[in-house]
Structure formats: structure tokens, C-alpha cells
Amino acid sequence: MRQVFVVIGVAVAVLLCGGTFAVAQPEGFVGAVAGPKVDVLFLPIRGTAANGRLPKNSKLLPIHNLEFTGPQPSHPFVLGNFSSDAQWGIVDGFLQVVDGKNAALQIAWADEFQLEGIMEQAGFGGWFFLVGWDEGRGFAIHNVTMKESGSPWHVSEFRGAKAIEGRSQELDKYEWKGEQPFRLAIADAKVTLEVGRHRVLSEQVIEGYTPGRVIVGVYDTSYGPRPLRIKSLKIQAKKPAPAEKPE
């Protein structure tokens, strides 16, 4: 089966008393939901738990049955056929893939949001963020680092767990080197990604964006997946802009 998430209900942004807000996740959803307060999802783990599985109370959830087809299924490097088969674990206190080549990790359910953290990347291979992901619909921000052709970035739109033909855009090359702070933000159906002091995406339009899962993952290439380690993660919903008053 290509469809992997079964959800009931509709995610909507609602206003609550006092001017605060929340995003209603689908019925039966398990995991973190971005809200008005900063939610710290991961920090380095010390002591006896510094190596092993994710803690049982972790808000980050490995996804073992995610399947989709990216914009270039037959390409040796660009995101193509993906089927999660890998395991996540804690190594020296940090979160990384410990077994397998295609891995996906659910971060949260969110509408407009800001995700910040510290991530370390090295070597070659592919990885991605999925945003607004709901039953095979959403957007992928994906990147691959190659030995001779640099490190291009792409933004692709998905429906039915397949990239929509003609709805993938290749962006400027930029290689994520070593440990870097990053910020991924979505507001007004535009996505911004900052890595260190470099802005990879600057209010890139993702028309038709709707609330959904925020997912990070790695995918297999001719070089294998891109080795990455997550050192910290926190997320916060961005408050919707107030409606304009009629004249």
C-alpha cells in the first residue's frame, strides 16, 4: 500500500479566548502539535541513555511505513522512490539513523510554524524535509550532496504520494557543512530555510500549502543517504495575521 497515514477529520486553525491560537490535529493523531508556546522536542541526551533507542516519552516518532515517489524516480541522486526502512537511535547523545538507508522521523503536526535546531551533516547523499504532509499530499524540500556536481536544493509538490509533474523547482546549490544552526519557517504559504548565516530559501511560494506533518528524513542514493545528526529541535506555531477590517 502506498498510503500510509489514515486520518479522520480536518486540521484547522482556531482562535481561542485571550487571543491565543492552536492547530487542531486529525483525530487519532499521535505526536507533537505546534502551538503558541515553544515546544522543545529534542536536546542532547547525557548519561546512560546517551546511546540506544529514542526515549519512550519522546515526541519525535520514527515512521516505518512511509512511501512516496519523488520527482526523478530513476535518477541516481535526486529524490525518487522512497520507502522507509531505517531505524533511528541515540549515538553519543545525538539523534541519527543507526540502521538502514531510507529513514523518516515525524517532528510535529503544524500549520504555520517555525522550527529551529542544530543539525550536523557530512559526506555525500540525500535528505529532505516534508511539510504540510497529510495522506500523501504536501511539499518536500530536498537536497543531495554529490562528489562532482555540488549540492542542489529542490522544492517539490506532492499529491497521492507522488511528486506532481512540472511542480518541482531546482534552486541554487549550497552545501550544508558540519554542525549548523538552522531555521525552517512557513507563513502565508511561503517557506524560508536558513542554515547558519546562509538563507537557502527566502519566502519561497508553496501555493496550496495546508496543515500537516513536519517530517525529516534521509534517502538512499548512489552514495547512500546523507549522514546527519540532530543535536536539538524546537518548534512553535506562528500566529496567523489578523484579518483586515472592512472599510
The span from the CA of 232 to the CA of 221, in Å, is 26
Closest by CA position to 139, among listed 235, 70, 67, 60: 70
Q: pLDDT for 66-109, tens place per residue?
A: 999 999 898 999 999 999 998 999 999 999 999 999 999 999 99
pLDDT of 49 reads: 73
pLDDT of 15 reads: 42
Walk me through the domains of the chain, giving residue ranges and CATH numbers.
13-237 (2.60.120.560)
At 192, the amino acid letter reads T
pLDDT of 55 reads: 86
Instruction: Pick the more confident residue, 23 or 112.
Output: 112
- The model's pTM is 0.88
- Helices H / strands E in the chain, number of each: 0, 19
The span from the CA of 118 to the CA of 124, in Å, is 19
For residue 36, CA distances in Å to 40, 89, 97, 139 come to 12, 29, 30, 23
Residue 195: pLDDT above 70? yes
pLDDT of 46 reads: 84
